């Protein structure tokens, strides 16, 4: 087997295992702390540090990945997740908001270190952005990750039902510890490491298309988390009367389907007008179509239509549109990046991603508490409108030249 493909598969396997634990712990925290009597806003605040520290982590993580190698960053992330899971196994009396936020901070750092290292490693395998193979590899990695995060949602809810909160955490900790040891042995040193040591100030991009793309990404992911993270699971449990396993199973099925659509995005777009290598036009077109979905769901609920049909049907449409949007964005950040700066550009880009998730998560708890799920959905539509507007300056692939890093030459 080719060494590059082998390294990619090892990184992807570690990313998959981490993603299952990440999806499971999110569902565990939302459902368990709602059961303990936390309000939707208080539940959202538990994720405040999870998302906030992702902003800093992506910046510093991209820089460290370029200096130390992406494999080191991936394993540090896994180790921090093991610690974060262990922290939540303490008795309920210890689980204050501040304590849980601290554990979630570690989990957020771990998640973004792991994600950044996995995404950046694709560039080293697939080559420059002009290769349509890059889009395929990015879509497969991202789509499979999201499908496994959906499995993580179901695993978290099912474990909560059958072995309880602490039993679930112990199971997840053991799984990730085994994977950490296996990948540490199998993955060679130096993957993604730059020959020249970059300065920390270099993590901020000076290229306009990357800055515009990062700004659009902020609002794209804010549009999802502003109703999906807190508002939707609480609505399904409290307003529709679903049980934990039903909520977790439904959200898991949605994320799995969303991941499958994302993995198939290159084939789907080739049947349209994007020829396998989407650019700014694809980002704008798919963003506009997605913007219509949360607005339509909100209008349906406000006019008294069947909430199960409106929410579930609308969520399917949102998942299809969001999956293709996310795949296009994930491809573009690598296509716009030069090889030697890929880890720093990806880190900068996912800093914006984390900022959008943080903003969406906090607004989700407040909007649901004050205006219900409809309020969350209108915020989602507004965020998507901003994402489309910020995508207007994005160029097509082939119309912008990827510069050569002076340190490389």
Is the pLDDT at 289 greater than 80, yes or no? yes
Considering the domain boundaries, does residue 316 fall inside one?
yes
Average of per-residue pLDDT across 344-356: 81
Spacing of C-alpha 63 from chain mean position? 20
**CATH number, residue 378:** 1.20.1250.20
Q: Are 289 and 317 in contact (CB under 8 A)?
A: no
Q: Which of 144-148, 216-220, 253-257 has the highest mean pLDDT?
A: 216-220
Task: Find the Cα–Cα–Cα–Cα dihedral 370, 374, 380, 381, rounded to 10°.
Answer: -130
Is residue 402 domain-resident?
Answer: no
Which pLDDT does position 404 carry in this prediction? 39
Q: Which two tokens stand for residue 66?
A: 């370029």
Which tens digit of pLDDT belongs to each residue from 87-116?
998 888 888 888 888 898 898 888 888 877
List C-alpha distances in Å: 243 to 92, 149, 250.
22, 20, 11
Share of residues in the chain with pLDDT > 70 (%): 81
Least confident of 68-82, 172-186, 190-204, 334-348: 190-204
User: What tokens appear for 269 in the block?
Assistant: 């777009």
pLDDT for 122 beyond 70: no
Domain of 220, in residue numbers: 3-191+203-390
Mean pLDDT, residues 27-40: 83
User: Would you say residue 217 lies in a domain?
Assistant: yes
* Domain count for the chain: 1
- pLDDT for 218 beyond 90: yes
**What span, in angstroms and rounded, lies between the C-alpha atoms of 139 and 121?**
13
Alpha-carbon torsion, ordered 17, 21, 22, 28, to 10 deg: 160
Give 331's pLDDT tier (boundaries 50, 70, 90): confident
Q: Is the pLDDT of residue 287 over 50?
A: yes
pLDDT score at 191: 56
Q: How confident is the model at residue 409 (pLDDT cuts 50, 70, 90)?
A: very low
In this structure, what are the phi and psi dihedrals at residue 266, rounded to the nearest 5 degrees?
-55, -45
Lowest mean pLDDT among 288-297, 342-351, 371-380, 390-399: 342-351
Mean pLDDT score of the chain, rounded to an integer?
Answer: 80
Neighbours of 302 (CB within 10 A): 13
Query: Span 127-132, mean pLDDT?
Result: 50
Mean pLDDT across the stretch 18-47? 84
Q: Which band of pLDDT confidence, cut at 50, 70 and 90, is reported for residue 60? A: confident
pTM of the predicted structure, to 2 decimals: 0.70
Q: What is the pLDDT of residue 219?
A: 95
Q: State the pLDDT at residue 408.
A: 36
| Phi/psi at 90 (5° precision) | -70, 165
Residue 406 counted as domain residue: no
In a domain, 380, yes or no: yes
In a domain, 409, yes or no: no
Give the residue, 357 or 376, on which the prediction is more confident.
376
Nearest partner of 376 among 36, 10, 40, judged by Cα? 40
Which residue has better confidence, 31 or 278?
31
Task: With respect to residue 161, please indicate whether it lies within any of the assigned structural domains.
Answer: yes
């Amino acid at each position: 087997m080719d060494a590059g493909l082998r390294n990619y598969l090892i990184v992807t396997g570690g990313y998959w295992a981490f993603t299952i634990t990440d999806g499971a712990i999110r569902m565990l925290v939302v459902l368990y702390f709602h059961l303990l009597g936390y309000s939707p806003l208080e539940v959202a605040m538990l994720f405040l540090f999870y998302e906030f520290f992702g902003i800093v982590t992506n910046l510093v993580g991209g820089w460290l990945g370029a200096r130390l190698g992406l494999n080191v960053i991936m394993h540090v992330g896994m180790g921090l997740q093991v610690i974060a899971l262990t922290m939540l196994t303490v008795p309920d009396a210890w689980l204050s908001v501040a304590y849980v936020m601290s554990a979630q901070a570690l989990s957020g750092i771990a998640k973004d270190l792991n994600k950044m290292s996995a995404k950046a490693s694709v560039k080293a395998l697939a080559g420059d952005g002009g290769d349509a193979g890059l889009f395929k590899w990015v879509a497969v990695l991202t789509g499979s990750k999201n499908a496994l995060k959906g499995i993580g949602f179901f695993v978290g809810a099912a474990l909560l039902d059958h072995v309880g909160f602490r039993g679930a955490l112990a199971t997840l900790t053991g799984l990730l510890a085994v994977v950490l040891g296996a990948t540490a042995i199998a993955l060679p040193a130096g993957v993604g490491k730059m020959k020249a040591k970059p300065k920390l100030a270099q993590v901020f991009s000076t290229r306009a298309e990357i800055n515009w793309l990062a700004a659009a990404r902020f609002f794209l992911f804010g549009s999802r988390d502003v109703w999906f993270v807190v508002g939707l699971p609480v609505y399904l449990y409290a307003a529709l009367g679903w049980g934990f396993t039903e909520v977790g199973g439904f959200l898991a099925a949605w994320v799995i389907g969303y991941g499958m659509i994302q993995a198939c995005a290159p084939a789907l777009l080739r049947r349209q007008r994007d020829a396998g290598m989407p650019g700014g036009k694809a980002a704008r077109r798919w963003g506009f179509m997605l913007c219509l979905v949360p607005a339509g769901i909100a209008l349906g609920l406000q006019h008294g239509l069947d909430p199960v049909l409106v929410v579930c049907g609308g969520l399917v449409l949102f998942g299809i549109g969001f999956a293709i949007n996310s795949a296009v964005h994930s491809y573009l950040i690598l296509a716009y990046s030069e090889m030697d700066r890929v880890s720093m550009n990806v880190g900068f880009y996912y800093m914006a991603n984390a900022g959008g998730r943080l903003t969406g998560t906090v607004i989700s708890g407040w909007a649901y508490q004050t205006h219900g799920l409809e309020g969350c959905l209108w915020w989602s539509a507004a965020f998507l409108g901003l994402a489309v507007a910020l995508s207007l300056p994005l160029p097509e692939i082939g119309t912008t030249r990827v510069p050569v890093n002076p340190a490389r030459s």
